[in-house]
């Protein structure tokens, strides 16, 4: 923040989205927004870094020299291999009755120039690749070859909007997995780069996206729309 | 041993003044004790897991918690002074009341300095990393990943769902990893 490195620690919970404080100033920050909500730096926002939610297998093939956080021996018993179903069982304290989704429905949430949209995970996983447009930006949401990883790209090749579809019989076979675009008929991998065809070597732009529960996404993005088929 | 002496109007006046002073000290002691205990317990009560946090209540909780380390110290010391003054003049029951209250005040002052959220979810002190080839992680496990140039890092979600926050530097960029 302003050239100063801050170190964060867990400091509390706000409707099941945690609060952290930094050791340097004691400011309180909201996890999901990166906003300073109280304290000396109130009003500031941390810069969101582009990140991925991938399977270890997918990440490993993409990052041969990558490093993995080692488990802390003291706490390995605390790590819950079943974290996803276990968290899903926890009660919720805020809900949005009358909205399209249930509180614990998983969505992919993204924001383009202040316009938020949520993509229900189930719909997305069935339809992938999903082509959409938010605030004028053409989007491509892709489920990875492992059926669990996901990425969101700007669906534009050399400034021209493009459409993509999954290559023929690739759905069941991770090794054959590739996207094809309708304008140049090039093959694209899950990293969003063309591996063969006229566009070879080109890569699509990325959009940060968050896998979240509907109640949490809706709470912080009251104006969000929900993607429908 | 003590022979009751007939009280003079002078004595009565002194006793009356003493009582009034003592009442003021009790009031001051109660105020300090409430402040110290409140500075810890009110935010702790508001920021409970699995409970709804109203926006204004959350603001109050953060404001109190922010001031609690210094506030409980000052209030606690003041309590101690008032308790010391009262101690010689009171009976056993009141002494017990004072002692219990002082215990609660001390507890609050200590807790205002400790992060009990980190007792539930311990932070990572000095994160260690292994080359991906050496990791025993199952290929189906989910990770959060960042990359800066050639520096790629993966944070297994099963681990981050416990630790919640991790401070790291990737490719020279300081990042806070959260889940």
Q: Which residues of chain B have pLDDT under 50?
A: 1
Q: Which of B142, B144, B175 to mutate to test the interface with A (most CBs of A within 10 A)?
A: B142
Of A10, A26, A28, the CB nearest to B118: A10
Chain A nearest-CA distance from B109, in A, is 17
Q: Where are the domains of chain B?
A: 9-114, 132-178
User: A37: which strand partners?
Assistant: none
3-state SS class at A72 = coil
Q: What pLDDT sits at residue B37?
A: 95
Side-chain half-sphere CA neighbours of A26 within 13 A: 12
B29-62: pLDDT as tens digits: 999 999 999 999 999 999 988 888 888 999 999 9
Whole-angstrom Cα distance, residue B132 to residue A99? 42
Q: DSSP letter at A84?
A: H
Question: What is the per-residue pLDDT for B133?
Answer: 87
Per-residue model confidence (pLDDT) at position A113 = 92
Closest chain B residue to A9 measured between Cα atoms? B165
pLDDT of residue A170: 52
Look at residue B60 in the predicted model and tell me its pLDDT. Answer: 93
> What ipTM, to 2 d.p.?
0.84
Q: Is B50 left (phi over 0), alpha (psi -120 to 50) or beta?
A: left
Q: Is A74 helix (H, G, I), strand (E, B) or coil?
A: helix
Q: Verify whether the Cβ–Cβ distance A26 to B66 is below 8 Å.
A: yes
pTM for the whole structure: 0.81
A window 71-110, beta carbon within 8 A of B: 71-72, 74-75, 78-81, 83, 87, 90-91, 93-94
Profile chain A (229 residues) by mean pLDDT over runs of 10 residues. Answer: 89 86 93 91 92 92 90 83 78 82 92 95 92 94 92 92 81 76 91 91 93 92 91
pLDDT at site B110:
95
Q: Which residue segments constitute the domains of chain A, with CATH numbers given?
A: 1-47 (no CATH), 106-211 (2.102.10)
* CA angle (B71 as vertex; A27, B78 as ends), nearest 5: 170
Q: Is the CB of residue A69 less than 8 Å away from at least one CB of chain B? A: yes
Q: In this structure, what are the phi and psi dihedrals at residue A180, rounded to the nearest 5 degrees?
A: -120, 140
Give A198-229 pLDDT, tens digit per residue: 989 999 999 999 999 999 999 999 999 999 87
Burial class (CB in 10 A: 0-12, 13-18, 19+), A194: buried
Which tokens sit at B162?
Answer: 């416990």
Q: Is B126 left (phi over 0), alpha (psi -120 to 50) or beta?
A: left
CB A164 within 8 A of CB A155: yes
Structure confidence at residue B3 (pLDDT): 54
């Amino acid at each position: 923040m302003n050239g100063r490195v801050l170190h964060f620690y867990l400091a509390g919970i706000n409707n099941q989205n945690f609060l952290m404080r930094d050791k340097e100033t004691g400011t309180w920050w909201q996890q999901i927004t990166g906003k300073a909500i109280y304290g000396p730096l109130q009003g500031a926002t941390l810069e969101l870094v582009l990140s991925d939610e991938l399977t270890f297998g997918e990440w490993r093939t993409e990052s041969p020299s990558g490093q993995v956080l080692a488990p802390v021996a003291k706490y390995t018993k605390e790590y819950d291999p079943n974290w996803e179903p276990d968290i899903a069982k926890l009660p919720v304290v805020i809900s949005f009755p009358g909205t399209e989704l249930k509180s614990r429905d998983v969505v992919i949430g993204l924001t383009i120039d202040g316009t938020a949209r949520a993509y229900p995970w189930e719909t997305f996983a069935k339809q992938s690749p999903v082509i959409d447009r938010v605030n004028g930006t053409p989007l491509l949401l892709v489920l990875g070859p492992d059926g669990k990883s996901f990425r969101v790209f700007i669906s534009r090749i050399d400034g021209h909007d493009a459409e993509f579809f999954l290559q023929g019989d690739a759905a069941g076979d991770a090794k054959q997995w590739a996207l094809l675009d309708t304008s140049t008929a090039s093959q694209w991998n899950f990293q969003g780069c063309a591996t063969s065809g006229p566009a070879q070597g080109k890569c699509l732009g990325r959009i940060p996206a968050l896998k979240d529960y509907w109640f949490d996404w809706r709470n912080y993005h009251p104006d969000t729309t929900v993607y429908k088929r | 041993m003590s022979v009751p002496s007939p009280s003079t109007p002078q004595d009565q006046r002194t006793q009356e003044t003493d009582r009034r002073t003592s009442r003021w000290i009790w009031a001051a002691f109660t105020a300090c004790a409430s402040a110290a205990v409140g500075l810890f317990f009110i935010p702790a009560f508001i920021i409970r897991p699995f409970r709804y946090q109203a926006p204004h209540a959350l603001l109050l909780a953060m404001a109190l918690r922010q001031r609690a380390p210094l506030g409980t110290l000052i209030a606690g010391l003041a309590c101690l002074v008032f308790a010391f003054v009262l101690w010689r003049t009171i009976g056993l029951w009141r002494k017990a009341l004072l002692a219990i209250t002082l215990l609660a005040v001390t507890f609050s002052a200590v807790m205002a300095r400790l992060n009990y959220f980190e007792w539930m979810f311990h932070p990572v002190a000095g994160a260690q990393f292994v080359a991906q080839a050496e990791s025993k992680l199952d290929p189906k496990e989910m990770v959060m990943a960042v990359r800066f140039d050639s520096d790629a890092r993966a944070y297994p979600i099963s681990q981050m769902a416990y630790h919640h926050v991790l401070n790291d530097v990737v490719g020279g960029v300081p990042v806070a990893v959260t889940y």
